Structure 1
């Protein structure tokens, strides 16, 4: 199930509009995201972060490797976009709460 959630998340990160809202269902109500020195601590903040990043950098994520279990996981993905240094390989460290992402830290 964990791999399914992450696969769903990765596929949806490549599309703007209504599908960004679909990504929000992957996050728990108390989710927190850590990215580029900033914390996003509500579903509204996370949604705004996803929309802004996707639109500003035209990001596309290509999953490379996932390791984890029902409590935590680590995804390596190649990320392409209009940002300096593209493409880059990023590591997404996650913790899960049930079927949802509870925390996401991007390195």
Structure 2
């Protein structure tokens, strides 16, 4: 699967639990929606993913990908310390200037 660099970087940094590098895949003003909460800006995103990594130790394996203009849909098998693992999650992303502007993670 040929993923755009920022998406490949996001997968790699998630799977290595590197919250700083993960957050650097996002713009300074990016927004993340996950588990019913919104995280605004790179610093909040870094705190969110560090906490999530600590709780769930989730890794992602891309199984599907679509790209249309600046919108990306990544379907990934997500495994970790949570009920029902592994599950398929969909990562809805908007990209600008090679950085993620928004990410919504849905089951």
Tell me if both proteins adopt one fold, taking TM over 0.5 as the criterion: yes
TM-score, with normalisation over the residues of structure 2? 0.91
* 8 A contact 1:73–1:94 mirrored in 2: yes
Quote how far apart the aligned CAs of 1:69 are: 4.0
Number of the residue aligned with 2:89: 90
Number of the residue aligned with 2:38: 39
Distance 1:60 1:2, change over 3 A: closer
Post-superposition CA distance 1:30-87 (Å, at most 9, x none):
1000001100012111001111111101111111111114511000000000100100
Number of the residue aligned with 1:81: 80
Flag structure 2 segments of 5+ consecutive residues without an equivalent: none
Aligned mates of 1:71, 1:2 — CA distance in 2: 13
The CA RMSD measured in Å over matched residues stands at 1.5
Quote how far apart the aligned CAs of 1:2 are: 6.3
Quote how far apart the aligned CAs of 1:24 are: 1.7
Query: Moved runs in structure 1, 4+ residues, more than 6 A?
Result: none
TM-score, with normalisation over the residues of structure 1? 0.91
Aligned mates of 2:55, 2:35 — CA distance in 1: 15
